[in-house]
Structures are given as structure tokens and as C-alpha cells.
Amino acid sequence: MLVSSDGFATVSKPPPDAWFLAGTFECTDTMSLDSLTKLGGVDLPSSPPPKWISMMNTLTTGSIMWSQALPASVYKDFVRGLINSVNQTMDRLPKDYYRETWGPCNLFLAGLKATRVDPKLFKEVAQTVERDSGALETFRPGPGGFLPPVVYDRFATRTGRLTVESGPHILTLKKDHRHILKSNFPNGKICSLDFGALEARVILYETGFSPSGADLYAQISNDLFTGSIERDVVKTAVISELYGSSRFAQGARLGMAGRKLDGFIEAVRTYFGTPALRKRLKEEFKSSGRIKNRFGRPLEIDDPQDHLFINTYAQSTGVDVSLLGFKKIVDDLGTDGIRPLFVLHDALILDVREDRLQDVERVASVAIPGYEQQFPLKFEYISKG
């Protein structure tokens, strides 16, 4: 059924710019109104009144169209109410974010390939594991050693951070177990491209600053403290600031107290511009009841504590930066001899043919739409067999 300003009609082929109300369109280029309303935090009356649902569940376990099951008057009222709800909310939904960011990222995720596992290595690892979270078992090799492609849930967390809906649980597989992954190419390699200090860079780039060094924390140490404070101490301070640790907790982690601690924290805050960003986000929250990430995704904050504004913004923006970046990398490299397998938060895991390895290793940074700065990447081997 095609609904427009002219009314509605039954069509065999919808127009290319149509939004689809129902169906499994999460990982295609189809514009899903289901997803759009979820992003906008809107609930549509997409089911008939409960009494009819209960009646249908009692009568049948099969699939019958509501147009054939409901009385004509009830069905017309249901459709009319649904159309009115869509019309009333459409202007408030994040359509630009969906088209420019959400949709392209879905296309990339839909292109992830089936993974291959070395049966011998899997068996060896399984024999050494006494207690498993369940992640390793999802990598038990099937026919030919292959596993189904991973499917991610992009709505399971409030910031859009990925969780695994089905397939291999790569997000919770122990790092020292990843070597069980096997290339599908003769002499191919499993490798990864990883964003460095992604969420910290997201916040830093809001100030317009573009650090030249690939090691962000080492550069901060040099810029602020002439290298006198170890980069790991700086990293601890930055993470504590972004995630809202108390002054006491920061002092305990850093081994500092008093004026020295205050001066150190203030220097980091000024460098990242967190007070100004926090103020901006709080004003946005006061005016609309929510905030948006860099790309326009609406974000709910149920408990508006100061640290949650920075953390929510950084994490959600980081998710979109990583997916957009991975899509651009795969688009630029092409699929000849390169098979994208997994997204592991800030890392992209690839199966690469031997003659394409140098091409992947040369990807030292990636440009993201909306940013003047480049985001550095680190190459790493996961499995060389």
C-alpha cells in the first residue's frame, strides 16, 4: 500500500524515494520508517487494537493480512490512524541523519562477509578454556569452516554502540582467541585497521584542533607538560575526564593530590575544551530534552549528570565516525582480494589476499564527512594463516 498526500493505493512496485513502514530493512538501502521512528524516539500505532491481536493469536499461528482479518471499518480506522500519526511526526524525524549517515552505514554493515575458522585451532583453544562467556562457542566452525556473517543491532544501546544480534560474537571474543580466524585466500592474512584514541579525538576535534602526531596521548604530554608526564598517565587523565570520574578517583589513578592534581586536570580540560562543549550540550538538552551527536543522531539522556553529556556525545559520534570511516576504506580499496568481516567497535577486521596486504597497510588515516581533520588508523595482524 502506497500512501501519499493524494491518498493511498495498492502498487506492485513502490517509487525509489518511498519510506517503508514495516519489514526487515535494517541492513539494506531501503528507507525504513521503522528505523527512522526509532531514531526519533517516536512510537507509531503499527498494530491494530490489542483485542484483535489477542483474537488472532487465539485463532491461528499462521500469517494472515490484517486487511482480510479485521472488519472493514476497523481496518480503515487503523490505517487512517497510522497515516495520521506518520504525517504528524514526519517533520520531527531525523531524515537527513538517516539518509546521510545511518543509511550508508547500514549498506556497509550489510556487506560484511562470512568468516572462516581454523577447525584445528578452534579445537585447541576450546580445550584450554574452562569457562567461556559463550562467545567462543559462536565461532565453532560449520561446513567448510565457515560461519554466518555477523548481524549487528544498532538500537540496543542509547548511543548506537554496536551489539551482536546474531552470528559470531566478535565483540566479546577474547583477544588472544582471535587467531582462530582463517583467511579464505591462499596465503591470505586476517588483519585489522583500528582508530587510535577515537573518542578522545572526537572531543578534541570539536575545538578545531588537529594534532599532528599519531600517538595522541604522547603529543598531549609534549604540548602540555614538555614530555615530563608519561603518556599513559595523560591517557588515564583524559579517559577519567571523558567518563566523569570524581576528583578523588582521578587523583588515586594518577597518584596526584592537591594543587598539582587541580592544575593537571585543568590543563587537560582546557586542552580538550570540555567545559565549553558540556555547556553547549546542556543548553541543547534544556531546549529540546535531548542532544544530538555530531552527525545529527538524537540521543536521550535519562539522568542528566554533567559527565554523561560529554560521554554520550563522544561515544555516539565515535560510532558513526568509525562506520563511515570503514565504509570509505572498503569503498576505496575495493573488494578484489579484500573481504570485510567484522566491526569490533573502533576496529575493522579484514580478510586480505597476500598481494593486497600492502594496500591495506598503507591506509594510515581516513577522512570523515564533516571533519577537516583526518583520523589516524593503526594496522595490525590478527592471524597470518
Domain count across the chain: 3
Whole-number average pLDDT of the chain? 89
Is residue 70, in this structure, part of any structural domain at all? Answer: yes
The CATH number given to whatever domain includes residue 156 is 3.30.70.370
Q: Give the model's confidence band at 61: pLDDT under 50 very low, under 70 low, under 90 confident, else very high.
A: low
Pick the closest to residue 315 from 110, 189, 160 (CA basis): 160
Q: Is the same domain home to 85 and 224? A: no
Is residue 301, in this structure, part of any structural domain at all? Answer: no
Is residue 152, in this structure, part of any structural domain at all? Answer: yes
Is residue 231, in this structure, part of any structural domain at all? Answer: yes
Q: Is the same domain home to 212 and 360? A: no
Q: Give the model's confidence band at 62: pLDDT under 50 very low, under 70 low, under 90 confident, else very high.
A: low
pLDDT value of residue 23: 55
The whole-number average pLDDT for the span 311-328 is 97
Take residue 75 and report the three cell numbers written for it.
Answer: 481496518
pLDDT value of residue 22: 67
Is this model's pTM higher than 0.85 or not? yes
**Residue 357 pLDDT > 90, yes or no?**
yes
Range with the poorest average pLDDT among 104-108, 243-247, 313-317: 243-247
Is residue 269, in this structure, part of any structural domain at all? Answer: yes
The domain in which residue 239 lies consists of 203-296
Number of residues that make up the chain: 385
Q: Is the same domain home to 11 and 65? A: yes
| End-of-domain residue from the set 51, 69, 93 | 93
d(CA 210, CA 37): 35
Is residue 101, in this structure, part of any structural domain at all? Answer: no
Q: Give the model's confidence band at 298: pLDDT under 50 very low, under 70 low, under 90 confident, else very high.
A: very high
Q: Give the model's confidence band at 25: pLDDT under 50 very low, under 70 low, under 90 confident, else very high.
A: very low
| End-of-domain residue from the set 70, 93, 116 | 93
Is residue 252, in this structure, part of any structural domain at all? Answer: yes
d(CA 73, CA 53): 16
Q: Is the same domain home to 86 and 20? A: yes
Range with the poorest average pLDDT among 4-8, 68-72, 216-220, 356-360: 4-8
pLDDT value of residue 363: 97
Q: Is the same domain home to 116 and 194? A: yes
Give, as one character, the DSSP assignment of residue 309.
H
Q: Is the same domain home to 85 and 51? A: yes
The whole-number average pLDDT for the span 2-24 is 78
**Residue 329 pLDDT > 90, yes or no?**
yes
The whole-number average pLDDT for the span 112-129 is 93
Is residue 306, in this structure, part of any structural domain at all? Answer: no
- Enumerate the β-bridge partners of residue 380: 192
Helix (H) / strand (E) containing 219:
helix 216-225
pLDDT value of residue 29: 58
Cα of first residue to Cα of last residue in the chain, in angstroms, is: 51
